[in-house]
A and B are shown apart, each in its own frame.
Chain A
């Protein structure tokens, strides 16, 4: 299957700082990537759809100024959590779908802890 690589796998940051998470499609081009958030023992909640060369589409209730998404190339999407607070602590995971099969593949996920 397709490979999606996400970095970092974990990060600890201080309140008020910003954190950038990268998501790369290694062996295929992804014009669209998806960012999910997962709280402990809960499901994956779609945060936004990242579109190469255009603005991301955010789900209702997700602050676009807080969760900045950039998709500058066909293989890279980034999520920046700005002015992080403890309530932003969560597991963030990206995904991309194979253009032909429609199958979705996930990055390793990033465990963000804001202290």
Chain B
């Protein structure tokens, strides 16, 4: 089955800096890669996703890149703000409603002002 590795486990940046979180996956059949943000005690919120027919996707300060050959994808947050502090999870799956997402172990991002 799918295995998703995520690094780093913790990341501390200064406000205004960029943050990058990287993930690798094992199953070449996976072609859907979402990123979730989870604040303490709350549900994960989808922040951006990418499919394998696209190499990069951007939404304001957030971007995701995908290298399908190398089986890795990354989350980039620019101009970080204190409210970006949270745990971020990457996931991989095939985009079918009957298939579960498999998550990485998460990255705790701390943005200090």
Contact = CB atoms under 8 A, between A and B. Distances in A.
B101 interface: yes
A34 B104 contact: no
Nearest to B49: A103
Contacts of A102: 32, 93, 95-97
Nearest to A47: B100
Nearest to B100: A34
A111 B41 CA distance: 9
Nearest to A101: B95
A31 B101 contact: no
A104 B101 contact: yes
A48 B25 CA distance: 21
A93 B43 CA distance: 8
A42 B32 contact: no
A32 B96 CA distance: 10
A26 interface: no
Contacts of A42: 105-106
Give the top 8 A-B pairs by smallest Cβ distance, nearest first. A102-B95, A106-B43, A97-B97, A32-B98, A34-B100, A43-B105, A99-B97, A44-B103
20 contacts: A31-B97, A32-B97, A43-B104, A43-B105, A44-B89, A44-B103, A46-B100, A46-B102, A49-B98, A95-B100, A96-B97, A97-B98, A97-B99, A97-B101, A101-B95, A102-B95, A103-B34, A105-B46, A108-B42, A111-B41
